[in-house]
């Protein structure tokens, strides 16, 4: 709880909420106008709202740790039994100064539901998810993985958003128990799906959303050059760069507490913290008095740190785990890792340690006691399907030993859904390098070929070189990791399936990422190795064009890259959409061959696609081809045949990780699209 610490002479309360500086409720009482909170006294008691320039959203809490919680509305669309629309609202939020925290999740609830959220983060973006079910019996409390409830993450540095929701079939088949679709942004820890929500969400008008606040628009290093504007005014304060945009935070140093933004804000603490490894005590000579450590005792500014000597592990506390000698079990053995060690490695799963998020979990960067840097995958939903997902991933990875497949180092079995520990890959994902305008690097054509060769080599290995064939089922650029030497590591085997060598296909619940999903698999539910081939074809198209697999900000005919790529080939206009950089670097033969392989991989009929091994053989040796300047080449395009007409929702609507359980129609999609692309970002709620 935040103490009421305001500028002298200023009021620090609005109703029941404490307003700490740098925020304030009147002129001259905040750091600047962006930190002004509007205290509306027409309510009883008075209620605080975000200040001028923002959506006037109610403020719920303000934390000196850099978090501000506000209330945000729920988007909804409801139908009567005849399928007539009876209610429709959207949701939006403008936050000019404070970015929306990645601790929030975009969530949709309903059994006939597609939802989308559009926003800005220096550039426009759109994402969403699909939620389906046909009967109450298929719904599981607590699960938000695509059946009656779905969630997707939001990107870092997002400032504003508009959200809308629609029914695929006007809820006509599920109206008796679910007449409405709902969508909202919400703090992840706050919401746990309940079956009751399918009917009773009408009573929930608002949801808590976390905003990240910080000061300035420069780094700590730059801010400290000008002490007249430097916000960390307290003695014994320190500065930390923001994790969500160019800005910084102030906090009291270890051993002190209070408000680091005020001159006398940081006071020596007499607080005893119940932590695994840290006790804050009033006397810096406490080690000499009543030593709480069984290992080494260290004093620092009123704080006592207990640690273990080299060769031992534990919290070092007399009343804790003490220090245990480490037994060397060898680097190659997969280990069972204690939960306490993983919490410490990730600073208790702190947001700053997040590497990425998907439909089934969050991946954190962690540092183990031996200083080994690892990636830790933590499930975000606790139900039986997540445990099965974990078992599946361990089972699959136990079959794999390949330099271009991410290594599983160990796991933790102390939680409801076990945690997985992987080798840490240092250079992000292929998607980052291709599409993130804020951090993208320009990969030369030669590096494109290296990534292609290593990825296809790993996938061919999965399909044919293991004791059981492994179908990845979610091949995409965000699951292709790169290290500092741009060595490829294929990752995320949670959706993968093991196929006995005497079988060629499996019938499964359709699962994957829209934009990459094999249309034949989507329609039939028949999973084969050729499903991975199609997804790899989309990856090739991304590499060749530099365009995302699915993007709402492109014209309608261009939104699905696979469709657009084949259509451009058919019209002999492919040159117009290829990336300028690779056209200038790649040779005619290399480009022609890569385009031809992509075309074959993207055949709608699976039997017409090559195998992964055939693709690997076709692409072999491309990196050695002599480079020539680009000229227009006749690519000899054949007529593209479609197995079935694809529904527009398949072509146009995607999510970061969306379980699709049925073929869908597009009733209401145009309305949703119009709402999303013209969200009320310049008005109120």
What DSSP line would sit under 622-678, residue for residue? GGGSPP---------PPPP--SSPPPHHHHH---SSB---S----TTHHHHHHHHHS
Exposed / middle / buried, residue 74 (Cβ in 10 Å: 0-12, 13-18, 19+): buried
Looking at residue 212, its pLDDT comes to: 93
Using the structure block, give the residue that is written with the tokens 């709880």: 1
**pLDDT (mean) for 455-483:** 85
Residue 511: band (very low, low, confident or very high) from pLDDT cuts 50, 70, 90? low
Using the structure block, give the residue that is written with the tokens 């390098």: 433
Domain 335-423 fold: Phosphorylase Kinase; domain 1 (3.30.200)
Higher pLDDT, 682 or 295: 295
**pLDDT (mean) for 545-558:** 88
Looking at residue 430, its pLDDT comes to: 92
Looking at residue 583, its pLDDT comes to: 77
CB-CB neighbours of 298 under 10 Å: 13
Looking at residue 541, its pLDDT comes to: 96
**pLDDT (mean) for 631-658:** 33
250-264, 377-391, 425-439: range with lowest mean pLDDT:
377-391
Looking at residue 274, its pLDDT comes to: 32
Looking at residue 380, its pLDDT comes to: 59
Separation CA 458–CA 463 (nearest Å): 9
Could you tell me which of 431, 483, 490, 488 has the C-alpha nearest to residue 459? 490
In 3-state terms, the chain is what percent helix, strand and coil (to 5)?
25, 25, 50
Kindly give the interhelix angle for 561-570 and 529-545, rounded to the nearest 10 degrees: 70
**pLDDT (mean) for 79-86:** 92
Separation CA 418–CA 411 (nearest Å): 7
Could you give the count of Cα atoms lying within 13 Å of 28 in the half-sphere of its Cβ?
A: 4
170-179, 406-415, 502-511: range with lowest mean pLDDT:
502-511
159-163, 217-221, 432-436, 650-654: range with lowest mean pLDDT:
650-654
**pLDDT (mean) for 69-80:** 94
**pLDDT (mean) for 2-23:** 83
Residue 612: band (very low, low, confident or very high) from pLDDT cuts 50, 70, 90? very high
Q: Is the pLDDT of residue 626 over 90?
A: no
Same fold, 335-423 and 430-652: no
Separation CA 461–CA 527 (nearest Å): 18
Residue 53: band (very low, low, confident or very high) from pLDDT cuts 50, 70, 90? confident
DSSP lists the bridge partners of residue 639 as: none
Looking at residue 411, its pLDDT comes to: 81
Residue 354: band (very low, low, confident or very high) from pLDDT cuts 50, 70, 90? confident
pTM: 0.49
**pLDDT (mean) for 226-251:** 91
Higher pLDDT, 419 or 507: 419
Active-site residue, selected from the candidate residues 112, 474, 492, 532: 474
Q: Is the pLDDT of residue 600 over 80?
A: yes
Q: Is the pLDDT of residue 631 over 50?
A: no
Could you give the count of Cα atoms lying within 13 Å of 269 in the half-sphere of its Cβ?
A: 22
Q: Is the pLDDT of residue 640 over 80?
A: no
Class of domain 430-652: mainly alpha
Q: Which residues are known binding-site members for ATP?
A: 378
Looking at residue 186, its pLDDT comes to: 94
Cβ(422)–Cβ(409) below 8 Å: yes
Looking at residue 122, its pLDDT comes to: 64
Residue 111: band (very low, low, confident or very high) from pLDDT cuts 50, 70, 90? very high
Cβ(124)–Cβ(190) below 8 Å: no
Looking at residue 100, its pLDDT comes to: 92
Residues in the chain: 685
Could you tell me which of 532, 517, 448, 459 has the C-alpha nearest to residue 482? 448
**pLDDT tens per residue, range 29-38:** 999 999 999 9
Separation CA 408–CA 400 (nearest Å): 9
Distance of CA 339 to the CA centre of its chain: 23
Helices (H) and strands (E) in the chain, counts: 14, 37
**pLDDT (mean) for 335-345:** 82
**pLDDT (mean) for 119-124:** 75
Distance of CA 109 to the CA centre of its chain: 19
Could you tell me which of 22, 26, 28 has the C-alpha nearest to residue 5? 22
Residue 255 Ramachandran class (φ > 0 left, ψ -120 to 50 alpha, else beta): left
Looking at residue 54, its pLDDT comes to: 82
Higher pLDDT, 502 or 2: 502
518 flagged as catalytic: no
Cβ(626)–Cβ(548) below 8 Å: no
CA distances from 36 to 4, 9, 20, 22 (A): 16, 16, 11, 9
**pLDDT (mean) for 577-595:** 82
Q: Is the pLDDT of residue 609 over 90?
A: yes
Q: Is the pLDDT of residue 42 over 80?
A: yes
Strands 59-63, 67-73: pairing is antiparallel
Q: Is the pLDDT of residue 504 over 70?
A: no
Domain boundaries, the chain: 75-204+669-677, 335-423, 430-652
**pLDDT tens per residue, range 523-540:** 887 888 999 999 999 999
User: What average pLDDT does the chain have?
Assistant: 77
Could you tell me which of 676, 674, 679, 667 has the C-alpha nearest to residue 84? 667
| Residue 60 phi, psi (nearest 5) | -95, -45
Looking at residue 250, its pLDDT comes to: 94
């Amino acid at each position: 709880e935040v103490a009421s610490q305001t500028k002298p002479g200023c009021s620090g309360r609005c109703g029941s909420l404490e307003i700490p500086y740098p925020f304030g409720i009147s002129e001259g009482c905040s750091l600047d106008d962006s930190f002004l909170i509007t205290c509306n006294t027409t309510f009883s008691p008075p209620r605080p709202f975000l200040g001028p320039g923002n959506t006037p959203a109610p403020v719920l809490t303000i934390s000196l740790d850099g978090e501000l919680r506000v209330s945000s509305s729920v988007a909804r669309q409801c139908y009567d039994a005849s399928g007539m629309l009876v209610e429709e609202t959207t949701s939006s939020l403008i936050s000019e100064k404070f970015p929306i925290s990645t601790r929030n999740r975009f969530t949709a609830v309903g059994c006939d539901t597609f939802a989308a959220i559009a926003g800005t983060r220096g550039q426009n973006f759109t994402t969403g998810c699909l939620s389906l079910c046909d009967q109450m019996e298929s719904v599981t409390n607590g699960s938000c993985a695509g059946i009656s409830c779905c969630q997707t993450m939001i990107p870092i540095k997002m400032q504003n958003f508009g959200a809308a929701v629609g029914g695929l079939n006007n809820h006509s088949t599920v109206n008796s128990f679910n007449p409405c679709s709902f969508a909202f942004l919400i703090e992840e820890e706050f919401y746990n799906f309940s079956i009751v929500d399918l009917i009773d969400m009408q009573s929930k008008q608002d949801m808590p959303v976390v905003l990240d606040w910080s000061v300035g628009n420069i780094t700590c290093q730059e801010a400290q050059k000008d002490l007249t504007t430097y916000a960390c005014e307290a003695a014994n304060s320190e500065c930390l760069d923001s994790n969500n945009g160019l800005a910084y935070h102030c906090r009291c140093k270890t051993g002190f507490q209070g408000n680091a933004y005020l001159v006398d804000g940081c006071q020596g603490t007499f607080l005893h913290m119940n932590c695994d490894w840290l006790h804050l005590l009033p006397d810096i000579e406490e080690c000499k008095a009543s030593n709480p450590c069984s290992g080494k005792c260290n004093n620092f500014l009123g704080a006592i740190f207990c640690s273990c000597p080299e060769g031992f592990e534990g919290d070092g506390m007399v009343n804790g785990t003490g220090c245990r000698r480490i037994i060397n079990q060898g680097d190659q053995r997969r280990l069972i890792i204690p939960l306490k060690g993983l919490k410490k490695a990730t600073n208790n799963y702190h947001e700053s340690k997040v590497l990425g998020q998907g439909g089934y979990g969050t991946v954190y960067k962690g540092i183990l006691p031996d200083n080994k840097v690892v990636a830790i995958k933590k499930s975000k939903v606790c139900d039986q399907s997540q445990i099965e997902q974990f078992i599946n991933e361990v089972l699959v990875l136990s079959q794999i030993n390949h330099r271009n497949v991410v290594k599983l180092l160990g796991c933790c079995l102390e939680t409801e859904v076990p945690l997985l520990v992987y080798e840490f890959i240092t250079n992000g994902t292929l998607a980052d390098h291709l599409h993130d305008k804020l951090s993208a690097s320009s990969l030369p054509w030669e590096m494109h070929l290296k990534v292609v060769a290593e990825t296809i080599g790993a996938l061919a290995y999965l399909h044919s070189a293991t004791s059981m064939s492994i179908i990845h089922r979610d091949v995409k650029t965000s699951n292709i990791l790169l290290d500092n030497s741009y060595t490829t590591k294929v990752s995320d085997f949670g959706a993968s399936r093991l196929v006995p060598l005497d079988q060629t296909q499996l019938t499964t619940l359709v699962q994957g990422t829209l934009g990459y999903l094999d249309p034949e698999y989507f329609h039939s539910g028949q999973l084969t190795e050729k499903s991975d081939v199609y997804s790899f074809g989309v990856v090739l198209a991304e590499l060749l064009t530099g365009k995302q697999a699915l993007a709402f900000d492109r014209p309608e005919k261009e939104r699905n890259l696979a469709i657009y790529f084949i259509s451009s080939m058919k019209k002999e206009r492919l040159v117009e959409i290829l990336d300028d950089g690779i056209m200038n670097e790649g040779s005619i033969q290399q480009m022609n061959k890569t385009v031809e392989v992509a075309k074959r991989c993207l055949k709608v009929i699976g039997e017409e696609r090559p195998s992964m091994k055939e693709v690997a053989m076709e692409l072999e040796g491309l990196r050695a081809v002599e480079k020539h300047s680009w000229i227009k080449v006749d690519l000899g395009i054949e007529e593209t045949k479609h197995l079935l007409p694809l529904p527009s929702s398949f072509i146009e609507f995607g999510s970061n990780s969306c379980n699709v359980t049925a073929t869908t129609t597009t009733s209401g999609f145009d309305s949703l699209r119009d709402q999303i692309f013209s969200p009320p970002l310049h008005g109120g709620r």
